[in-house]
Structure 1
Amino acid sequence: MVVRPRILLIDSYDSFSYNLAALCKRAIPGCDVHIIKNDTLPTSVLVPLLKYFDAAIIGPGPGSPENPLDVGVVRDLWHIEESSLLPIFGVCLGLQSLAVEFGARIKRLKVVKHGQVSDVIHTGTDIFDGVGPIHAVRYHSLHVSLSGDEDLVPLAWADDAEENGQVVMALKHVRKPFWSVQYHPESVCTSGGGEAILRNFWRLAMKWSTSHKRTTALWISQLHSFVGPAWPQTPPKHEPRARSEKVVTSVTTRTVRLRENVDVPLICELLGVQDDHQDFVLLDSAGAAPGRFSIVGCLTHTSPKITYSIGESFVRIRQGEDVSFAELGSSDIWAWLSAFMRRRRARGGAPEVPFWGGLVGYLSYELGAHTLTPIPPRPGSRLRHPDANLVFVERSIVIDSQSKKAYVQSTQPGDEKWLQEVSLRLDSLAAPPSGFFPSISVALSTPQPQPMVTLPNRAEYISKIHAAKEWLFSGDSYELCVTAPTHIRAAKSPMAVAHGTSSSWELYKTLRTRNPAPHSAYLRLHSSTLLSSSPERFLSYSRPPESLCQLRPIKGTVRKVPGITRAVAEEMLAGSRKEVAENLMIVDLIRHDLHSVVGEDVHVRQFCKVEEYETVWQLVSVIEGKQSPHAKNQAQPDLGFDMLRASLPPGSMTGAPKKRSVEILRDLEGQERGIYSGVLGYADVGGGGDWAVIIRSCFKHDEQVTPSTEPSEQVQHPHNGRNEPGALNGASGASPSGTLFEEWTLGAGGAITALSDPIAEWEEMVTKVESVLRAFKDSGAC
């Protein structure tokens, strides 16, 4: 019988641990890696289990090696008795813990290194035997200081010159089989000191075990109850499937070539989007590259609408006037949604069309944060949006902006009459002539009040950035995405009043014109309305088999103005140490999230490339992962919800390590984000899906439409932070009697790193707010 090498990886709640596990699998062929948290088992239980492992890896993590809550059982592993001793390799916090336990001092770096690449000088011995030049990624704000009296031998250094001087990058114990590195060998941008270091560690570990006559105990299945199965897990952990789930629906499709000038808004208006009382969903490429397909849900009175709020033990399902409640039981919302879609899987649609039908809507930031670190919702008097707000779309129209084709689709059996009627209407649809709405000019000529805009308090926001940087300096995070809400009280659009139509729809049309984006959306799912011009795809996944996951994080944006050519944008973005470091951190975090679900097959297809969009240049990376072979033949739309569970909230909106960053941000921001920085998109009945980050967006609770005769809201001027009456530019306007006002919220913020300038971060946040606020002025909603 072939005995596979067995590695125990101890995770200190980091966001790179699965990357380290994947590195182990490459460096130690055929090994099994078991991953546990540093507080999963007490030392008294863990130590007797070490005899079943060939070696242990102590992974990185936030915090300090001097804080027992940050390192858990790790500090005890360095002091285990000789009879239980096994080879150990530490990374980052692992090195710091090893050093502190044997007498070294822990200090703060004068200049922290988060996502920075350094040349590593090494001895060429031990774990560096045969290793050439090393360019290593560093994520640390603490470092170890040696007096020379410790039982430790330094093996490598980084020369930070006047910044920090010489910083220890690797250590070994003089007698015990302990080695460690300060840098991150698992980072995508580490070269020379990654896989080769782990191979050398394994060689030294086996040599030590042989010389000390250490043998590994034969593995028994009962140990899974303590340390779990080896990663990646097989078979995948899905709910048992009932016989009824095997039913597969057929998708029926009609294709229509659209006439010239027939666009997405016109099709939506044909379908009744202007009726504010009805739900409506549109996922819109807005004609903005690299977007291509727009999805219009053709909802009926009985289209199943699913809502869920964290803390509840049930899911609401509304169909017309009927409301039912599905108990979650011992499951969670992700497993419930996965089972819901498995029972409705379909086949037979046009393969080139990404959406055949399925769930469309949004998932809040708090839904992801709660999965990561369960915290009950904040108490408050404001109306709260559902954390999951989705509708199951059985009839849809997908518009291909490249071919100018519309795909009319239905998953309902016997729906030929509807398909034919809609196809004929689209076939005869033509853009209205200019001047088609003669009353609009009259409505727009009526003086309208300026929107009442309340920006975040400038001084408070800047103080939060200073506080965030202190968390970065203390080693608790590498990057924190600090955000704040802006509140807008805007008069209903005169165009909407003139025609008795939807004010939010008129506002959305202006937004998509002024700020076209590939992941725009108009979602009216009462009681929430969301308008989005998001440029950032979060997660897409193709239909099985051979499902491919792709994430495209954006970190770094430059607006396209005269003089900002591609060459200039590349220098400002790809040539910026700060921008590249921010992007790198999120890339490494996303690789970890992908590895946790799909297994080993994860690759960075594009790193920090400047892409051109309609109004901006952006620094974009592309990370892809494929399902493990054991899952390829399973016909199920499960991959998406497994990935959403593992990867929300978006790392680009939190920072890293994600769990600690989310906890810090919750206290720092002092309020829920709600819909903002969650995701919007779809889960397709064929098993695919596409979700975008909710940024450059605004939303309202539909019960917040109020009459007013003299609004008295205060607005904060973006440049001085004082509360002043009026609009964003300081202007004010009286309200005509009886004017209806809508309360909108939009969030904005930025990734704070050690290199961030608080004043510049405030200005960047205001700029992001203004990109959406312009729509309120230009739509006549003010």
Structure 2
Amino acid sequence: MAAQPRILLIDSYDSFTFNLAALCKRAIPGCEVHIIKNDTLPPSVLFPLLKYFDAAIVGPGPGSPDNPADIGVVRDLWHVEEDLLIPIFGVCLGLQSLAVEFGARIKRLNVVKHGQVSEVIHSGTDIFEGVGPIHAVRYHSLHVEFYENKHLVPLAWADDGEENGRVLMSLKHAHKPFWSVQYHPESVCTSGGGEEVLRNFWRLASSWSAARQRTTLPWIPILQSSVGPSWPLTDSRGAERPDFERVASHVATRILPLSGVDVPRICEMLGVLDEEEGFVMLDSAASPGRFSIIGCLTRTSSRITYSVGESFIRIREGENITFVELGSSDVWTWLSAFMRRRRASGGMPDVPFWGGLVGYLSYELGAHTLTPIPPRSDSRPRHPDVNLVFVERSVVVDTLRKTAYVQSILPGDGKWLQEIVSRLETLTSPPSNVMPSNPCVSRLPQPQAVITLPNRAEYISKIKAAKEWLFSGDSYELCVTAPTRIRAPRSPSAVARGISPSWELYKTLRARNPAPHSAYLRLHPSTLLSSSPERFLSYSRPPESLCQLRPIKGTVRKAPGITRAVAEEMLAGSRKEVAENLMIVDLIRHDLHSVVGEDVHVRQFCKVEEYETVWQLVSVIEGKPTPQTKGKIHADLGFDVLRASLPPGSMTGAPKKRSVEILRDLEGEERGIYSGVLGYADVGGGGDWAVIIRSCFKHDERPGSSASSNGESKTGVESDDPHEEPVDSDGASEARPSEAIFDEWTLGAGGAITALSDPVAEWEEMVTKVESVLRTFNNPVL
């Protein structure tokens, strides 16, 4: 064995692989871990390289060992010639593959185990020597049907009682140096059977190699061209990244105490009512949110848009549009370089945003990074997948300290700063010329929003199809979603009178469904209204940068009798809710490990938190760059983590790549903005992004225009299901002012489907989520 052990980890496109790599680093001190996909190298290329490794790990993954496309080169690995034999540790799919190659059969469990914790009854020998009680996390719907076999020796079981009986949890080969476990030793909730078992594997592997005088060949750097560098990766891409000439900026700030915090009034003062102009506001409209960020855009503010599949980025500055070719780079690398050039200093340390990029990143952008697929052709206008504006002037409102921070990173901008401070000071009393929200501008009966829910029967059939994918072993959890369409009336004369229909809708949404990550983004051709409760990713400024992700899985709406104790029983006490949350926690750990290295920890697991209108089951995962990765230019950290972790695991499932592929076929259309992320990348090096849920968005053909044409329409709710009841009819009238036209809004919603999901209950949960936003459209503005 080498002084610095070298481990080959074979990844079958799983979403827990880097968790397993981190476990290796803890269990085998000083080891180097190289990770390859199971279809990267053919046996003829891979097998000679085994002489340069001390051991191999065959990781978990979706699918079945009976399917060559799922298992790749692994099935051949168990049959290498004697002179190439290497100790191997298999996990989940790795165990199943080992078993199948030596005579066992694979069957489906009667009751699948995804995110479930089971007691493991073990032999106390081999990899379990000296190991005490084990409570292990299981992610499998297939299992090994084991019979007496001269090649295989069982080592551990789980007793599922009437559900599945005894289920094999570990086995070894009788003569070759192969050991394996069915459960997931790398899961955050596995206790007793993780690091201890892998340490025993390394002891057994070392003894086997010593007894056979197996020597590992000295490492040759050129081998990295085949198996890649060891993990965690240092930043070797700096020379390849497009860069710009560095422009140093200083943040100028004016501080103003506020007698009352009224973020909407500040927005109206700063121009949000002009429907034809861009506007961005990230709004902490409810606890635990604190800072609201208002961008003060100019006509020449840089607007950056990009669509998946294109080879260029658009930059609009006023009437000028520049097309920047990406070349051999990608959009993530370009965005990192763009922000690296615009780094600034000198702002207030406690203010999270000094200036920078604000906007959204679509679901398809993340999905395309995982599995490149051309965009679907659709008759509906397509939103940009990247839609950001560079904010140089801003007002940040601290709702806790009741303070406004007026900021600029433009040189010599003192006059503007003083002007905004003076205007803010006039907001101590409502000005007489501001129209009230939702004004009654006509005594005629007004048309109502026309709402088209998803087809109930089709949605339920998709839930059933998703469960079949779960039973087959292709996914542990699938977040199935569907769009609701809303045709909301508006009037050109209302816009002429200084009323912004989309802004009025946002204020109604804010009042009825306040959320800590609300937002109003008007970045033509897209307008987004959000009342998101879920932070996706935040990362602090250097030098001690910390990444934090806060997945939410499990929600109970507040109501009489729903106390904290009741909510905790319904959420933290629910096997289904905790399993869903656990799967996403393990997935997020993997995503974060892939960028920052080993220093990733679960700071909070499945804690019930109180929000304005709901109780939610929230976990907190944190990570920071390790010594190996601290050499990365910090401006790249946020975009590197976004690239690795989008689309949000809470909106896809695990394993993520296979789940995204299944969902694309199952849902039948793109999600667009829905279930992407919105937020900012700060010029100081930090950032904060929220999951786009409880949100609606529309597409404008051009600034200030409607995406829909004039026309008659029914009032209330349209549904393809004849049994579907309206969400709200509210006394419709046939009267139609001739000037009325309609904006078409899209509202996505769905739910995480597990083996425990009831299809009808999932439909009802989806409709409940939709209704939280649909209430906004009850009182349309004309």
- TM-score, normalised by the number of residues in structure 2: 0.97
Where does residue 132 of structure 2 map in the other structure?
132
Task: Assess, with a 3 A threshold, how the Cα gap between structure 1 residues 321 and 61 changes in structure 2: closer, same or farther.
Answer: same
- For 1:31 and 1:560, the matched residues in 2 are separated by 50
Alignment-mate amino acid for residue 572 of structure 1 = M
CA distance in 2, matches of 1:90, 1:733: 67
Q: Following the alignment from structure 1 to structure 2, what is the Cα–Cα distance between the partners of residues 37 and 654? A: 21
CA deviations on 1:162-203 (whole Å, 9 max, x unpaired) are: 000000000000000000000000000000000000000000
CA contact (8 A) 2:673 2:692 kept: yes
8 Å Cα contact 1:495/1:503 also seen in 2:
no
Per-residue CA distance 1:624-649 (angstroms, 9 max, x = gap) = 00012244366531100000100000
Deviation sequence 1:679-728 (CA, Å, 0-9, x none): 000000111000000000000001344453521488346xx932789764
Q: In 1, Cα distance between the equivalents of 2:191 and 2:522?
A: 48
Name the CA distance, whole Å, in 2 between partners of 1:443 and 1:665: 45
SS in structure 1 at match of 2:49: helix
Name the structure 1 match of 2:393: 395
More off after superposition, 227-236 vs 687-696: 227-236
| 2:268 aligned with 1:269 | yes
Q: Which residue of structure 2 aligns with residue 211 of structure 1?
A: 211
Q: Which residue in 2 is equivalent to 1:592?
A: 590
Residue in structure 2 matched with residue 222 of structure 1 by the alignment: 222
Structure 1 residues 455-489: Cα deviation after superposition (integer angstroms, max 9, x where no partner): 00000000000000000000000000000000000
The aligned counterpart of 2:775 is 774
SS in 2 for 1:456: coil
Name the amino acid aligned to 1:509. K
Instruction: Tell me, yes or no, if the aligned pair for 1:283 and 1:519 is still in contact at 8 Å.
Output: yes
Change over 3 Å in CA distance of 1:160–1:493 after alignment to 2: farther
Equivalent residue number for residue 82 of structure 2: 82
The residue that corresponds to 1:453 in the other structure is 451
Q: Is the 8 A contact 1:495 1:506 kept in 2?
A: no
* Mapping 1:567-586, distance limit 5 Å: 567-586=565-584
Judge conservation of contact 1:493–1:506 (CA < 8 Å) in 2.
no
Structure 2 CA distance for aligned equivalents of residues 181 and 724 of structure 1: 48
Q: 1:261-302: per-residue Cα shift (whole Å, max 9, x none)?
A: x4100000000100000000000001x111000000000010
- 1:13: which partner in 2? 13
From 583, 602, 605, the counterpart of 1:604: 602
* 1:708 equivalent in structure 2: 710
Mapping 1:485-504, distance limit 5 Å: 485-492=483-490, 496=494, 499-504=497-502
Aligned amino acid, residue 282 of structure 2: L
Task: For 2:576 and 2:415, locate their aligned partners in 1 and report how far apart those are by CA, in whole Å.
Answer: 57
Corresponding residue SS for 2:639: helix
Residue number among 531, 534, 539 corresponding to 2:532 in the alignment = 534
d(CA) in 2 for partners of 1:715 and 1:728?
A: 7
The residue number in structure 1 matching 2:249 is: 249
Q: How many residues align?
A: 777
Q: Please state how far the C-alpha of 1:736 moved relative to its aligned partner.
A: 2.7
Residue 247 of structure 1 and its aligned partner are, at CA, apart by: 3.7
Match 2:613 to one of 601, 604, 615:
615
CA 1:474–1:245 in structure 2 vs 1: closer, same or farther (change >3 Å)?
same
Distance in 2 (CA, whole Å) between partners of 1:415 and 1:647 is 38
Residue 171 of structure 1 corresponds to 171
Q: Per-residue displacement from partner, 1:544-586 (whole Å, max 9, x unpaired)?
A: 1111000000000000011100000000000000000000000
Residue number among 664, 667, 685 corresponding to 1:666 in the alignment: 664
Q: 1:570 to 1:243 in 2, by over 3 A?
A: closer
Matched residue, 1:761: 762
Q: Distance in 1 between matches of 2:668 and 2:730?
A: 27
Contact 2:235–2:632 (CA under 8 A) maintained in structure 1: no
Shift of 1:259: 2.6
The one-letter amino acid paired with 2:32 is D
Q: How does 1:305-384 map to 2 (within 5 A)?
A: 305-384=303-382
CA contact (8 A) 1:16 1:589 kept: yes
How far the C-alpha of 1:420 sits from its partner, in A, is: 1.0
Distance in 1 between residues matched to 2:754 and 2:302, nearest whole Å? 43
TM-score by length of 1: 0.97
- The residue aligned with 1:73 is 73
Contact 1:259 1:427 in 2 (8 A): no
| CA RMSD between the two structures | 2.0
Aligned AA (2:255)? T
Give the Cα separation in 2 of the matches to 1:684 and 1:536.
20
Please identify, of 635-644 and 57-66, the stretch whose mean Cα deviation from structure 2 is larger: 635-644
Partner AA of 2:717 in structure 1: V
Check the 8 A contact 2:708/2:742 in 1, yes or no: yes
2:190 aligned partner: 190
SS in 2 for 1:391: strand
1:644/1:2 Cα in 2 relative to 1: closer, same or farther (>3 Å)? same
Give the conservation status (yes or no) of the 8 Å contact 1:490–1:776.
yes
Q: How many Å separate the matches in 2 of 1:72 and 1:414?
A: 61
The structural deviation recorded for 1:499 is: 3.0
Please give the per-residue CA displacement for 1:78-136, whole angstroms capped at 9, x wherever unaligned: 00010000000000000000000000000000000000000000000000000000000
**Structure 2 runs not aligned, ≥5 long:** none
Distance 1:237 1:713 in 2: 56
Letter in 1 for 2:106: I
Instruction: Give, in angstroms, the shift of residue 244 of structure 1.
Output: 5.5
Distance 1:69 1:576 in 2: 36
Aligned residue runs from structure 1 range 652-731, under 5 A? 652-703=650-701, 704-712=706-714, 715-716=717-718, 721-722=721-722, 728-729=728-729
What is the CA–CA distance in structure 2 between the aligned matches of 1:467 and 1:97, rounded to whole Å?
26
Task: Give, as a single letter, the amino acid of the residue that structure 1 aligns with 2:329.
Answer: S
Structure 1: which amino acid aligns with 2:354?
A: W
Check conservation: 2:475, 2:655, Cα contact below 8 A. yes
Aligned mates of 2:88, 2:674 — CA distance in 1: 43
CA distance in 1, matches of 2:242, 2:781: 51
CA distance, structure 2, for counterparts of residue 496 and residue 293 of structure 1: 31
Matched with 1:238 is: 238
- How many angstroms apart in 2 are the aligned matches of 1:519 and 1:440? 24
1: CA distance between counterparts of 2:560 and 2:305?
A: 46
Q: What amino acid does structure 2 have at the position aligned with 1:623? A: I
Report the Cα offset of residue 733 of structure 1: 3.6
Local SS of the residue matching 1:775: helix
Distance 1:565 1:434 in 2: 43
Go from structure 1 to structure 2 and tell me whether the alpha carbon gap of 1:235 and 1:500 turns closer, same or farther (over 3 Å shift).
Answer: closer
Report the equivalent of 1:478: 476
Contact 1:259 1:429 (8 Å CA) reproduced: no
Q: Within 1, Cα distance between the matches of 2:457 and 2:432?
A: 48
State the distance in 1 between where 2:328 and 2:346 align.
34
